[in-house]
Structure 1
Amino acid sequence: MLHGIIDIGSSTVRMAIYDIHGGDIDMLLKKKHVVGLAAYVKDGVMTQQGIDKAVEILGEFVSFLHCFHITHVAAFTTAALRNAKNSREAVAEIERRTGLSIRVISGDEEATFDFIGATHAFGHESGLLVDIGGGSTELVAFAGGSIQQKVSLPLGATDFHARFTGDVLPTLAECRRMEEEAGRILDGAERYVTEGAKDAFTDLRVAELAGIGGTFKSGLALYNAVYGKPADNLVIDAKKLPELIRRFTSDRDLAQEDVVLLMRAVPDRLPTILPGLTIAHVVCQHFGAKTITYSDSGVREGYIYSEIIGK
């Protein structure tokens, strides 16, 4: 049976079409728009411009679904709309204007869906799962194939770009300020834990992170291009992150070949790639991780396994 899953994120709005049979899922098609909804939040309020932009993109998706008579549709939204002071009103207007029913998933739910989706593809029994989004970062510590602790932190690539730089690419000094802010939030991660042991992340150390989502997908593409890795390489050497970030900061005299490389590797994420990699670098430092292994399955697949197949 065909299902349309729409993920209204803080950086991108995505729709994927899946063929679901029993416990098996097959993604047939994926469409996305890099919208940067987190940047439309002013003084904690989602602006009318942001609402209109979401309606425009979702209207396109709805037309596509109608064309192919796909009636099983689930739509959910994460940090940008979830954290806005006018979240309820903004979501209600988007629903009214698009005809979609939109579920606002909590940070805790997002982390759970991330874990369920990623661990279907990630072959490790224990570790730390990280999803750096546009408006939040989800951390999930797991062992024995089960979640030990999870938290959603106010760390996002789109949000950091909007807060710390006024240009497409940040300066090195702006990246340093992002590092300081990310470090401060990670040091106080227990404040954001809603259930379970508050100090679960305090002494956690891992050699490898499992990275999911657009930041890690784009970061891996840039890493592979810069360091001449094969396209199917899924592992980032964490110690290379500071060098990778410095290479593309705006106050460096970028060589033309570097501009070409950047535009080819991450054309849709030019404003958010360095903020995202900066957060990734701080997360690696905080937990002592030496490598990041990327998984292409995440919140949408986790939603399917939990909310569609599991019910």
Structure 2
Amino acid sequence: MMYAVVDIGSNTMRLVIYKVEGGRPRALLNKKEMAELASFIKDGMMVAEGINRACYILDSFNLLARELGVTDMHVFATASLRNISNSQAAVTEIEDRTGLSISLLSGAQEAEYDFVGAARTVDLQTGLLVDIGGGSTELVFYKDMEIQHAVSLPIGSLSMYTKFVSRLFPTKKERKAIENCVEDMLDRYEVSNLGDCPSVCGVGGTIRAVDKLNSYFYNLSANNRFVTSENLRAMVKRLENREDKKFIPLDTLETLLKVVPERVRTIMPGMIVLNTIVKHFKVQNIYVSRAGVREGFLYRQILSKKEEEKVNG
């Protein structure tokens, strides 16, 4: 069977077409659009331009899937439509205009699906899973492959850029502001005292982009899936904008355009969020997973329900 899964994120929207054989999914197509929906939020509400943008991309994804013969499309949204005051109205309008049903995941569901999709792809039985999206950051503390505590923080790479960064890259002062915001959120959501986590399973576009930069700066294989805390800290310092410089460092811009061109604005705020979490929980190593919330959604919301239907059928 083939299934189309669409993830409506705060920074990106992504269509993945999976072929499932023997209960194991394999991605046949992975198409991403930089929707940047979080930038269309004004006074806590998603404005019309953001809804239009989401509808346009969903329509294009739906058309592409049908052209490929896949009619079973499942759409879910995370912080992009969850953390807005007109959440239900926006979801209803998008559904009416596109003819697609949208599953609006809670923060707890998003964290759970991250774990289901990702933690089993890396050899970490116990640790911390981190997913930094455009508008939210999921933290899942797990032991012996069982979730102990999960939380979704309303901060992400795009929202931190929008709130704190005045130019293309954050200055040292702006980095400090983002770090303080992250620390405040860890306290507010009562996860700041959960102990040290030497090993992290990293999920999502921000951390995959960090992995690409790590491989580029340190001449590692493109198949590398391992980032040390020392390398992360050094990269944040290396890419930071200097307070006394009016213009963006050209070498910084050239590097990002070469390695992660679609994340030129958001990669640094995302790296600062990650680095703050890494420092707080005394993380030593980050293992980067290629699977995450989409695979977790596929397992939990589609494949498990198909199995239930067979059993009850």
The number of residue pairs the alignment matches comes to 302
For 2:303 and 2:113, locate their aligned partners in 1 and report how far apart those are by CA, in whole Å.
Answer: 13
For 1:136 and 1:182, locate their aligned partners in 2 and report how far apart those are by CA, in whole Å.
Answer: 11
For 2:51 and 2:156, locate their aligned partners in 1 and report how far apart those are by CA, in whole Å.
Answer: 19
Q: Report the residue type matching 2:230 in the other structure.
A: K
Structure-1-length-normalised TM-score: 0.93
State which drifts further: 297-306 or 167-176: 167-176
The 5 A counterparts of 1:163-242 are: 163-190=163-190, 202-242=193-233
Match of 1:45 in 2: 45
Match of 1:197 in 2: none
Deviation of residue 37 (structure 1)?
0.9
State which drifts further: 154-163 or 234-243: 234-243
2:277 is the alignment partner of 1:283: yes
RMSD: 1.5
Match of 2:149 in 1: 149
For 2:63 and 2:204, locate their aligned partners in 1 and report how far apart those are by CA, in whole Å.
Answer: 26
Deviation of residue 305 (structure 1)?
1.3
The 5 A counterparts of 1:1-311 are: 1-190=1-190, 202-251=193-242, 256-311=250-305
The answer to whether the Cα contact below 8 Å between 1:7 and 1:77 also exists between their aligned partners in 2 is yes
1:60-117 Cα distance to aligned partner (Å, 9 max, x none): 1011122123111110000021111001111111111111111100000000000000
SS of 2:261's equivalent in the other structure is coil
State which drifts further: 177-186 or 10-19: 177-186
Q: Report the residue type matching 2:128 in the other structure.
A: L
The answer to whether the Cα contact below 8 Å between 2:127 and 2:200 also exists between their aligned partners in 1 is yes
Deviation of residue 201 (structure 1)?
5.4
For 2:172 and 2:219, locate their aligned partners in 1 and report how far apart those are by CA, in whole Å.
Answer: 24
Q: Report the residue type matching 1:49 in the other structure.
A: E
Task: Give unmatched runs, 5+ long, in structure 1.
Answer: 191-199
1:271-309 Cα distance to aligned partner (Å, 9 max, x none): 110000000011011111011110000000011111222
Q: Report the residue type matching 1:219 in the other structure.
A: V
Structure-2-length-normalised TM-score: 0.92
Deviation of residue 203 (structure 1)?
3.0
The answer to whether the Cα contact below 8 Å between 1:157 and 1:273 also exists between their aligned partners in 2 is yes
State which drifts further: 65-74 or 255-264: 255-264
The answer to whether the Cα contact below 8 Å between 1:9 and 1:78 also exists between their aligned partners in 2 is yes
Task: Give unmatched runs, 5+ long, in structure 2.
Answer: 306-313
Q: Report the residue type matching 2:109 in the other structure.
A: E
The answer to whether the Cα contact below 8 Å between 1:41 and 1:80 also exists between their aligned partners in 2 is no
The answer to whether the Cα contact below 8 Å between 2:157 and 2:270 also exists between their aligned partners in 1 is yes
The answer to whether the Cα contact below 8 Å between 1:217 and 1:294 also exists between their aligned partners in 2 is yes
Deviation of residue 168 (structure 1)?
2.1
SS of 1:129's equivalent in the other structure is strand
Q: Report the residue type matching 1:179 in the other structure.
A: E
Q: Report the residue type matching 1:290 in the other structure.
A: Q
Percent of matched pairs sharing the same residue: 38
Q: 1:269 to 1:56 in 2, by over 3 A?
A: same
Q: Report the residue type matching 2:275 in the other structure.
A: H
